[in-house]
Structure 1
């Protein structure tokens, strides 16, 4: 019974696909909204910047990034979530402010030093290879770039000090974490902030 539940949750939220994934996307758009807003507020994208959104899911944070930055690029491995984000950001895509592509934290498809900031909300626990992902995100960030990652504490299988060490090993500096409470139904989230040396 537990394995069936875990499989259903994975289809809805972990690796969304099919109608169940579409339903999961609608739930994520509501439940994660405060965390998405908070992460973008912390990131503070400027109007002249390019922002990479890792795992934008249904596109709530991607839309915010596209409204605040010069350009927002969303990479997600789920075709269902790319479709949801494409619908939510249709006007910004048409205006050339949002771009979507299939990808992951470890395989973004971005050129080296091509974005000013990276944000990821509630998907770090799904990264297949965190050290490789941190290296990739460091690679695509420009000198002086910044990283903001928010993830539910209960979903993490590692400690915050492990995350700090992994990001530091990839080259990030001033890596720090804090606990954030977004209210609503979600428990506290870990917020990881890191910089690329200028």
Structure 2
């Protein structure tokens, strides 16, 4: 059993990561900005706490005693670059001080390549608003890649489509590389539930390290 702290636990990816980790017998701390808005998380058996993923001191205090961290947090009321850069810096600082060895970050599929050196977000006609949001994740990735840190981080990027919120967990996924994973014949849309399976799988059996990795 591991102790896992999940930031952004109230979001679509975070809620499912909490459920998956608890179901596998891990001790989970679910971090949200306002616990009063997410009473359902406490009902899972997770410890529900308030915290700020962009505050390194908050991260350090809450992270103490945990083996791994997952960041599934998002903010739409501030610029994407501002939020994701601040979160990456705070996580590396705070988790490093708390001696948390592993960090998994939920990325975005538009950072994946369609051909060598060409990301999804670089395609002609890619929507400007979506590009701006994607560039926030890109800046986050650059912070992670450029950091001199003891934290073994990994960014998982799901397919560059809207993930299925309603689909049941299958427990099946593919992972690896920085290119968009081509759909196999008859493949169903990738779900948040199976993204959670991949996240907790990398906590239990780390296979990738310090890079962006596609999952689908």
Give the TM-score, by structure 1 length: 0.51
Question: Quick check: 1:104 aligned with 2:52?
Answer: yes
Match of 1:169 in 2: 147
CA offset at residue 76 of structure 1? 0.8
Q: Distance in 2 between matches of 1:64 and 1:178?
A: 16
Question: Matches of residues 16-35 of structure 1 in structure 2 within 5 Å?
Answer: none
Q: Cα distance 1:194–1:82, how it changes in 2: closer, same or farther (>3 A)?
A: farther
RMSD: 3.5
Question: Matches of residues 2-41 of structure 1 in structure 2 within 5 Å?
Answer: none
Q: Distance in 2 between matches of 1:62 and 1:180?
A: 18
CA offset at residue 49 of structure 1? 0.7
Question: Matches of residues 1-198 of structure 1 in structure 2 within 5 Å?
Answer: 48-57=1-10, 59-87=15-43, 89=44, 92=45, 98-105=46-53, 106=55, 107-108=58-59, 109-110=61-62, 112=64, 114-123=65-74, 125=80, 126=83, 129-130=86-87, 131-142=89-100, 145-152=101-108, 153=110, 154=130, 155-158=133-136, 160=138, 162-167=139-144, 168-169=146-147, 171-172=149-150, 177=155, 179-181=157-159, 184=162
Contact 1:134 1:166 survives alignment (8 Å): no
Q: Distance in 1 between matches of 2:34 and 2:85?
A: 14
CA offset at residue 120 of structure 1? 1.8
Contact 2:30 2:49 survives alignment (8 Å): yes
Q: Distance in 2 between matches of 1:170 and 1:81?
A: 36
Contact 1:176 1:194 survives alignment (8 Å): yes
Match of 1:7 in 2: none
Structure 1 unaligned segments of length 5 or more: list them: 1-47, 93-97
More helix by share: 1
Give the TM-score, by structure 2 length: 0.48
Q: Cα distance 1:133–1:177, how it changes in 2: closer, same or farther (>3 A)?
A: closer
Q: Cα distance 1:174–1:156, how it changes in 2: closer, same or farther (>3 A)?
A: same
Q: Cα distance 1:172–1:180, how it changes in 2: closer, same or farther (>3 A)?
A: farther
Local SS of the residue matching 2:107: strand
CA offset at residue 86 of structure 1? 2.4
Taking CA–CA contacts closer than 8 Å with sequence separation of 6 or more, which of the two structures ends up with the larger relative contact order?
A: 2
